A and B are shown apart, each in its own frame.
Chain A
Amino acid sequence: AQSVAQPEDQVNVAEGNPLTVKCTYSVSGNPYLFWYVQYPNRGLQFLLKYITGDNLVKGSYGFEAEFNKSQTSFHLKKPSALVSDSALYFCAVRSAGGGNKLTFGTGTQLKVEL
């Protein structure tokens, strides 16, 4: 069975400061890892993914994520946070042959303050 853990329910950061949203995973075989963002009363939007290749993945809106196989982690990062980044962030995993059956974490609420 595959699983995702997002240990922080909420992350607070000041605008202009770097941000990190943590994610660890468990899956059989090579993982396919994803970050999605959800704004209030909206569906999810894809941010970035890791399938293979470089451990540092760059995505939309200046976000990036670092894949660490030994620590089974896939933390989301951004060098300089914006107030508009405030939203609910989900990490997700699927196995290589898993179709679109994604397993999502519980989500981390990011709050960026002036």
Chain B
Amino acid sequence: KAGVTQTPRYLIKTRGQQVTLSCSPISGHRSVSWYQQTPGQGLQFLFEYFSETQRNKGNFPGRFSGRQFSNSRSEMNVSTLELGDSALYLCASDPTGRTNTGELFFGEGSRLTVL
């Protein structure tokens, strides 16, 4: 079974631009979560989607948004990029349905550098 696939793996943007990151969960997984990892703030929860609906949201500004498609693939978008948005963005999928176990399968991440 293929793992969680995130694209692109690396990207460089400049301040003010926007970026879209993609995540394909493991086949059959319907829950997708996104986390931001930085040296200063560590791992922080962004949002979670299940059946195309946002189920949970972290404490990030409205510049951070996401969505999930009917095939469970998910995208997240960051608009008006700031230097502080430089981070590793991790996507994780969950094999369970409405009752989450917290046993997440993570992708290798998309490393965003904002110049």
Contact = CB atoms under 8 A, between A and B. Distances in A.
Interface of A: 32, 34, 36, 41-46, 49, 51, 90, 92, 94, 98-107
Nearest to A94: B102
A99 B92 CA distance: 13
Nearest to A98: B56
A37 to B, nearest CB: 11
Contact of B4 (A41, A43, A51, A90): A43
A98 B105 CA distance: 17
Contact of A104 (B42, B50, B100): B42
Contacts of B94: 100
Contacts of B66: none
B10 to A, nearest CB: 10
Interface of B: 4, 31, 33, 35, 42-45, 48, 50, 55-56, 58, 90, 92, 94, 100-109
A43 B90 contact: yes
Contact of A99 (B4, B43, B100): B100
A94 B4 CA distance: 22
A42 B106 CA distance: 9
Contacts of A92: 102
Given A99-B55, A102-B104, 18 more contacts: A32-B102, A36-B104, A43-B90, A43-B92, A43-B106, A44-B90, A44-B104, A45-B106, A49-B102, A90-B43, A94-B102, A100-B33, A100-B56, A100-B104, A102-B102, A103-B45, A104-B35, A104-B44
Contacts, number: 65
A30 B7 CA distance: 36
Given A44-B90, A99-B48, A100-B56, A34 B102 contact: yes
Contacts of A43: 4, 90, 92, 106-109
Of the candidates B45, B94, B107, the one having the most CB atoms from chain A within 10 angstroms of its own CB is B45
B45 A101 contact: yes
Contacts of B44: 104
A100 B107 CA distance: 15
